[in-house]
Structure 1
Amino acid sequence: MTIFRTFHRVNGPSRPALIILAVLSLGLPGTAIANTAATQIQSPDGAAIEQRNRAIVNAAFEKWRGGTYVFGELLAPDVVWTIHGSGPVAGTYRNQKDFIEQASRPLTSRLLTPIAPEVHNIFADGDTIIIRFDGTATTTSGALYRNQFVWIFKMKDGLVVNAEAFLDLVAYQQVVDNNAPRSQ
């Protein structure tokens, strides 16, 4: 309580500071909460889910690197996919079809080769998977398309139910604006 009185006298009342000091003065009950949360994260079931999700994403990226389209089996039909940034493709797509038609196809239809991902890291934390990778392809005009990506997946029952994508949207848009779509 001496800490609280000294802080209050020097700095005046501050609600966040008062809450922190109240927790500290009561014997650190927050520590018990943090330890309980850490124990739950490291539980065998949680670790198994984490390993399974990482293995699913890793296998999908390996298949994708080999030229196989993997998104139909990796994404839940009602996936919510957000592309962060600014530009015509940035925004939130509310299902797999919407994402493919409005965000993926405008780019991939202007590529002669599939994007070849080069994975740098796959991080797993429970049902969240973070993938950092580079992607390269050849455009319909013969130019090289290169981009860097960070995707954050939230998974449920082995499928991506929520995704956030960070990439160079200028590079994306240049391909869309400067290359004719392949004839179907």
Structure 2
Amino acid sequence: MNTTNNKQLMQFIFQELSEGNDEPFLDAMADDMQWTWMGSGPWSRTFKGKQSVLDELWASVRTTLKPPYRTVANQFIADGDYVVVEAIGQNTTPDGKIYNNKYCWVCRLSAGKLHELREYMDTQLVTETFQGNG
């Protein structure tokens, strides 16, 4: 896929995420998907493999956020295999706390699949919202 196709795929994924549909996003993940929460603090880590992303990260999203999980993109920058997405969450925890984190996702795609995602976010907001339950 070329730059335009990669950007269009991520735009489609985020259109669906903005409506609370995470299936296209999950379907686009390659088996060797690697998702890294960037930084050096207690929230920084890497989920290696699609199964790890689903079992550890996404299962947690589904229990710590009230459905539907929504993220709305406001900027896409694409160059070759990479698409950078600036987005904001529109979420609430089950106990009613607003959780609208701001994200920058650096995504690497190949052959129509998402292989790598480096996520930059407000980790202080994560700590304040989830009180260190990471």
Q: What's the TM-score, normalizing by structure 1?
A: 0.65
Residues 89 and 105 from structure 1, CA distance in 2 versus in 1: closer, same or farther, beyond 3 angstroms? farther
1:145 shift after superposition? 0.7
In 2: Cα distance, 1:155 partner to 1:88 partner: 28
How many residue pairs get aligned? The number is 132
1:115 shift after superposition? 3.0
Structure 1 residue ranges without an equivalent (≥5): 1-47, 180-184
Q: Which has the higher contact order (CA 8 A, sep 6+)?
A: 2
Q: How does 1:19-168 map to 2 (within 5 A)?
A: 49-69=2-22, 70-168=24-122
Alpha-carbon RMSD: 2.0
- Of Structure 1 and Structure 2, the greater strand share is in 2
Per-residue CA distance 1:139-179 (angstroms, 9 max, x = gap): 11112111000000111001111111000122223433389
1:74 shift after superposition? 1.7
Per-residue CA distance 1:90-142 (angstroms, 9 max, x = gap): 11221112123323332331211333222110000011100001112111111
Point out the structure with max Rg over C-alpha.
1
Output the amino acid matched with 1:120: N
In 1: Cα distance, 2:60 partner to 2:43 partner: 9
Residues 108 and 170 from structure 1, CA distance in 2 versus in 1: closer, same or farther, beyond 3 angstroms? farther
Helix, strand or coil at the partner of 2:127: helix
Structure 2 residue ranges without an equivalent (≥5): none
In 2: Cα distance, 1:142 partner to 1:127 partner: 38
Output the amino acid matched with 1:159: K
